[in-house]
Chain A
Amino acid sequence: MPKTILKIKNLSKSFGKVQAVRDVSLEIQEGQIIGLLGPNGAGKTTTINMIMGLVTPTTGSIEMFGLDAAKHRSAINKRTNFSAVYSSLPDNLTVYQSLYVFGKLYSVPDLKEKIGQLMEEFDLKKFANTKAGVLSSGEQSRLNFAKAIINTPKLLFLDEPTASLDPQIAGIVRKLIVAYVKKHQAAVLWTSHNMKEIEQTCDQVSFLSHGRILLSGDPKVLPAERGSQDLEELFIAVANEPLDSEN
């Protein structure tokens, strides 16, 4: 039986009078890729930030690897990592230096070998001594992704990881992620606005709107169950659905 890697219960976050996330509960088992979908401002990034320890929840609990995230943040973060379209690595460090610094932050053993292997895998070897700031957005995304798996995380947070990639590279990255999950029995929490990508890669999806999970299920069968032609049509229908409390 697969182990539960992430369990969040009744998670809410308010910023003053704005309620960004409302009563979100979610579980991820090892080997699973879960898609978190929703329109801009739905609360996806706030939810991921709370799970990563970058935002303190107003209420609710987060448990990862059987540990309470409020008490064991550093131990948990050793086994997680992330890549987000809005967070690139420092542009004044070279590719090698960035991977070295983050490898040390995650206490990666045999770091130099690991960096060599990642640069090979993500075609970054020729940029080893190039500062990240002068890389193209696609090359930066590859670097971000190399950093995201430098510590062989068991749980990976990907916030629109392929948003700035061309279709060919995005396809390669998707395959790498799926292969990584299989090889390491890891889990991924993935946000994207690319419904085809979600359909291809995710085992489960949860639709967030106005900070609340409105719908969850298998992305391959959910549209038909809900009377939509595809995930994209379902996405639009869910995004337009008003909340009960707002009726």
Chain B
Amino acid sequence: MNLDRIYAIFIRQWFLLRGSPIRFFTVFIWSIISIFEWGFISRYVGSLGIQTFNYVSAILGALVLWEFSSRVQQSILTGFLEDIWSQNFINIFASPLKIREYLTGLILNSVVTGIVNFTLIALLAGIFFGYNILSLSLMLLPFMLVLFVFGMAMGIMSSVIVFRFGSTAEWLAWPIASVIGVVSAVFYPVAALPAGLQLVAKLTPASYVFESLRALVYHGATFSQVSGNLLLALLLSVVYLLLIGWLFAAVYRRNLDRGEITRFNSESF
């Protein structure tokens, strides 16, 4: 892998963010809105006095972590879509850039926006709702690692959908994190899902993270008791990432064969 070429994909995205306050704003705004929305809901439900645990901590802890994963997904998708919106595929793919370098550049960008976004909403959760995500201390790292790898897989999958079905399919790609969120047990346990969806949740790495988070914080489990689940979640995430990376390359080869790289637009599929 060539670092210059990976950097080119990364810096291109940074130039775009730097040159457009609106683009910059939209990286953070939805996470900020979510924090306030769920923060107020949690505070209200907490004030009813019917719960047996700290409702604000339960919801905001999960939200901050899930927003991190979602942001990684959206950042990869946005970087990919920028090349479609600016009709840049010919320039990009006629260069020495390899597919794995292209994806690595998009991922690198998602790491930065994901971490900045995480820091910002964690701060807001602390300042406005008294929730301190750092109370999880070092246990935060494995949670974030799994969610980061899973976020990458979701981001590349979203891009695969657009790459395969054309740019009109971006409307299917944007909500992928929200759809997967249903079976990720972010705000409720897997047991709350119907039997069929529980099975799907078992195949969703994020569900293990949020089940483990609840076990640690509200049921007094130790880290070693949940570490097996986290390891399984990490393995699943890595397998999905590899499979989806392979799928992206396969769709790329298909598009080369059909000549669709050179005339990629919403009506060409």
Q: Is A194 an interface residue (CB 8 A)?
A: no
Q: Is A127 an interface residue (CB 8 A)?
A: no
Contact at A54–B256, with CB atoms within 8 Å?
Answer: yes
Name the CB-closest residue of A to B88: A90
Contact at A90–B95, with CB atoms within 8 Å?
Answer: no
With A49-B259, A104-B4, A107-B4: A91-B95 Cβ-Cβ less than 8 Å: no
Q: B81-117: which have CB < 8 Å to A?
A: 82, 86-88, 90-98
Main secondary structure of the interface of A (DSSP, over half): mixed
Contacts of A1 in B (CB 8 A): none
Q: Is A131 an interface residue (CB 8 A)?
A: yes
Q: Once bound together, how far apart are the Cα atoms of A150 and B97, in whole Å?
A: 15
Q: Is B269 an interface residue (CB 8 A)?
A: no
Q: Is A101 an interface residue (CB 8 A)?
A: yes
Q: Once bound together, how far apart are the Cα atoms of A46 and B261, in whole Å?
A: 12
Q: Once bound together, how far apart are the Cα atoms of A151 and B92, in whole Å?
A: 14
Contact at A49–B262, with CB atoms within 8 Å?
Answer: yes
With A100-B11, A101-B12, A104-B4: A75-B262 Cβ-Cβ less than 8 Å: no
With A87-B91, A102-B95, A105-B8: A92-B20 Cβ-Cβ less than 8 Å: yes
Cross-chain contact of A53 among B7, B94, B258, B259 (Cβ < 8 A): B94
Q: Once bound together, how far apart are the Cα atoms of A185 and B262, in whole Å?
A: 29
Q: Is A7 an interface residue (CB 8 A)?
A: no
Contact at B90–A105, with CB atoms within 8 Å?
Answer: no
Name the CB-closest residue of A to B20: A92
Q: Once bound together, how far apart are the Cα atoms of A49 and B7, in whole Å?
A: 26
Q: A73-106: which have CB < 8 Å to B?
A: 74-75, 77-78, 80-82, 84, 87-94, 97, 100-102, 104-106
Query: CB-defined interface of A47-59 with B at 8 Å, one 1/0 digit per residue?
Result: 0010011111000
With A78-B96, A104-B8, A131-B19: A89-B91 Cβ-Cβ less than 8 Å: yes
Name the CB-closest residue of A to B86: A90
With A55-B261, A55-B262, A75-B96: A102-B90 Cβ-Cβ less than 8 Å: no
Rounded to whole Å, the gap between the CB of A84 and the closest CB of chain B is 7
Contact at A93–B11, with CB atoms within 8 Å?
Answer: no
Rounded to whole Å, the gap between the CB of B168 and the closest CB of chain A is 21
Q: Once bound together, how far apart are the Cα atoms of A107 and B98, in whole Å?
A: 13
Q: Once bound together, how far apart are the Cα atoms of A91 and B95, in whole Å?
A: 18
Most chain B CB atoms below 10 A, which of A56, A87, A105? A105
Q: Could you give 24 example pairs across A and B, Cβ below 8 Å?
A: A15-B258, A53-B93, A54-B90, A54-B93, A54-B261, A55-B256, A56-B253, A74-B98, A77-B95, A88-B87, A89-B91, A90-B12, A92-B19, A92-B82, A92-B86, A93-B19, A100-B11, A101-B8, A102-B95, A104-B4, A104-B11, A105-B4, A106-B95, A131-B19
In the A-B complex, list the 7 residue pairs whose CB atoms are closest, starting with the nearest: A104-B8, A90-B86, A77-B96, A105-B95, A87-B90, A107-B4, A105-B8
